[in-house]
Amino acid sequence: MVAILPALKKVGIWLAPPPQKSEDGRAQWPSRAAFLLAAMGGCAGMGNLIRYPSQVYNNNGLQWFIPYLMCVFLVAIPCLVLEIAIGQAYHGGSVVAFNNVNHRLKGLGSSLLYIGFIVGPYFVVNLSWIMIYFRNSFKSPLPWEGRSEEFFYQIVVANVDAIPGNKTSTSVIDYTEYPGVKLIGETVAWTAFTWFLVWVSIFRGVGLTGRVVYFTMGLPIIMTVVIVGRSVSLENAGRGMKLYFGEWHGEKLARGDIWQTAAGQVFFSTGVGFGYFSSYASYNQKHSNAVMDSILIVTSNVLFEGFAAFAAFGVIGYMGMSPVDGERIGAFTIGFLTLPTAITELPAAKFWAFALFFTLMVLGYSSAFAMLDAVVTLVMDSGIGYVAKFGFALLTGIDRWISDVALVFVVFCECAASTSLYRWRDVVGQIGLPSFITFNSSFFGGMFFGVAVTHAAGAPAGAGVGFGLFIVGTLVALFIGKTPDYEPPSNYFNRNPYISRFWYLAFYSGQQLVIDLNVIVGMGKNWNIPVVWAPLLRFISAPTLAIIFGFSYPSFNALREDPLHILGFVVAHICLLLISAGVLLPRWFDVLIPPKRRCEGKIVYAPNVVQGSLETQ
């Protein structure tokens, strides 16, 4: 027995190796490839196979790709550069990293973890449904053959029908009632099993995770290629391809929902706003190529989900489905009704069922442990409601508003706050506090009132109010500001005192963030963060997200009689409270940061001096 223990220990170390250590003692990825695969695994999930095609289907045609690609290039890539760069530079997860940007952004860092905390439990319940299908894929005939809706809603989800509510244009008469409250045994069991697998994958840190990702990324890619090949060979698959990218419905671009769904899909599929990229990047070598890594991660995800969608659209063409204006289908319809129904009509149906649900499980599994890596406590307790007999409706309500409200607002704050508050003491010291407050009040106030007026009186009026407030506030700020002691680095901004003041107000924080991060992530042959990155975040990405965020409130008005949608709406808005509390009461969040690192976000007054890294601070 004594002789066996050393052998078992060696096997355990080989299967679950302890992570490498950096100079400061922090765990480190075994290789750059391990980090990239883990990050890509967090992006490439089951949503690529089922959520993405459902969003494209609901907004069928080439017009979908306009807001989708705009969100990818104007929001996802710049924000991912931010999350990875600060996590890597400051060797900490989202709370520690944003504390280093500014000590009042600890609430923003916490809100990213909060989103993972909310999404993780229902995401794992999705995986438990997939496992039920996977178990049943070994039966002959497949148990959902000829009764796909009955099997999903009555056997898998097993939810009791809700009692609909009633409302008028001004008030709610009766709220929707959900009589089913019992837990569903098999769903509970598979959920517990999935959490166990997630724990096994991360309990030894990035040393073990770095090995697991080779399986969770490699195998699903192979299986996806096989499934896509079979799907596009189906009869009438070409009709589905036409729905995918062969039609144009330009009038849909005037509707808010296409912009909301595009932004939500980009955030869910790339993982921006969930906090795990800063966590993963904190285990990188400090001088890794953050900019190149960010572009590789987002690009690989866009290509993967664009390719994987052929599987769904081949089946859509085969089944003769067509979008109906005003009727939306959810991701669960594609994943648990459309694809399984088509499988029953294929030769070797059992094999294709096994292949589909095994691929969905492994894809979802890699995303699940990415989220849990950022939030490791209390997840099990928060997921109980999703395995009850009203769980599907609860999941739908939470998912809707986390996507439309919380994620959009959190990423908006990442874009705007990091480029407005970084090294703000330098700005105040150069042009004065009244000027600083006036400019930023007009910047944020212009977006707020512009969106509000747009919904009340129309887009032209809203744009006029928003831009007008910003321009007036900027002129006042320039008039009351001091003349800077230190000239801007560019001769263009040195022409007169007013232009110099404008440079400090509009560009200084973002430029210094670029310079200070590039000292770390842009070393050697690494790609530098470009100069245009910060203005893009502040003046393009942030206003775009503010507009998208405004669409969520009219959408909620149509569902205000449903208590689970009300709950989802409230849960999503907790992010706003966390961020506000962090700005007003930053000390409340100090408990989340190691004592020796709590003062790192209070950067001393040093205009135009490169801060660089923790060591130079």
Judged against a pLDDT cut of 80, whether residue 421 lies above it is answered with: yes
pLDDT, mean of residues 280-308 = 87
CA 495 vs CA 294, 455, 520, 549: distances in Å: 37, 40, 32, 38
- Mean pLDDT for all residues in the chain: 82
Mean pLDDT (whole number) for 319-325: 77
Residue range 301-322: average pLDDT? 86
| Rounded to 5°, angle at Cα 432 from 431 and 433 | 135
Instruction: Identify each DSSP E strand in 100-186 by its residue range.
Output: 166-167, 172-174
List, for residues 430-480, the tens digit of each pLDDT value.
999 999 999 999 999 999 998 888 877 777 888 889 999 999 999 999 999
Question: What CATH number is associated with residue 373?
Answer: 1.20.1740.10
Asked if residue 30 is part of any domain, the answer here is no
Question: Which one of 115-119, 390-394, 420-424 scores highest in mean pLDDT?
Answer: 420-424
Q: Do the domain assignments include residue 523?
A: no
Structural domain includes residue 295 = yes
Residue 387 placed within a domain:
yes
**What 3-state DSSP class applies to 24?**
coil
- Confidence class for position 9, pLDDT limits 50, 70, 90: low
12, pLDDT greater than 60: no
* pLDDT of amino acid 382: 39
> Best-predicted range by mean pLDDT among 161-175, 275-289, 409-423?
409-423
Number of neighbouring beta carbons within 10 Å of residue 601: 23
Q: Say if residues 283 and 293 touch (Cβ distance below 8 Å).
A: no
Gap between the Cα atoms of 27 and 521, Å rounded: 18
Distance CA 114, CA 123 (A): 14
The burial class, CB within 10 Å (0-12 / 13-18 / 19+), for 233 is exposed
* Segments forming the whole domain that contains residue 242: 36-421+530-592
Give the mean model confidence (pLDDT) for residues 409-427: 93
pLDDT value of residue 369: 59
pLDDT exceeding 70 applies to what percent of the chain?
Answer: 86
The verdict on residue 434 lying in a domain is no
| Predicted confidence (pLDDT) at residue 609 exceeds the cutoff of 90 | no
Residue 471, both tokens: 């321009």
Between 60 and 313, where is the model more confident?
A: 313
Distance of alpha carbon 143 from alpha carbon 140, whole angstroms: 7
pLDDT of residue 38: 75
CA–CA distances in Å: residue 153 to residues 316, 388, 397, 400 = 21, 13, 17, 19
What does the pLDDT average to over 386-412? 83
The pLDDT score that the predictor gives to residue 68 is 92
Does 572 reside within a domain? yes
What's residue 613's pLDDT? 42
The model's confidence at residue 4, banded by pLDDT at 50, 70 and 90, is: low
| Max avg pLDDT among 7-16, 35-44, 343-352 | 343-352
Give a yes or no: residue 192 inside a domain. Answer: yes
Decide the pairing of beta strands 172-174 and 20-21: unpaired
pLDDT class of 507 with cuts at 50, 70, 90: very high
Q: Looking at residue 616, what is its pLDDT?
A: 42
pLDDT score for 116: 78
> Of the given ranges (176-180, 213-217, 237-241, 267-271), which has the lowest mean pLDDT?
213-217
* Residues 281, 370: Cα–Cα separation, whole Å: 12
User: What pLDDT band is residue 377 in, cutting at 50, 70 and 90?
Assistant: very low
pLDDT digits (tens, 9 = 90+) for 204-240: 555 556 566 666 667 777 888 888 888 888 888 888 8
How much is the pLDDT for 260? 84
What pLDDT is stored for residue 117 in this prediction?
78
Output the pLDDT for position 539: 95
| Segment 18-43 mean pLDDT | 71
d(C-alpha 372, C-alpha 246), whole Å: 39
When divided into structural domains, the chain yields a total of 1
User: Of 274-278, 318-322, 324-328, 402-406, which gets the smallest average pLDDT?
Assistant: 324-328
Question: In this structure, is residue 459 part of a structural domain?
Answer: no
**Closest by alpha carbon to 213, among 109, 409, 363, 392?**
363
**Cβ(162)–Cβ(564) below 8 Å:** no
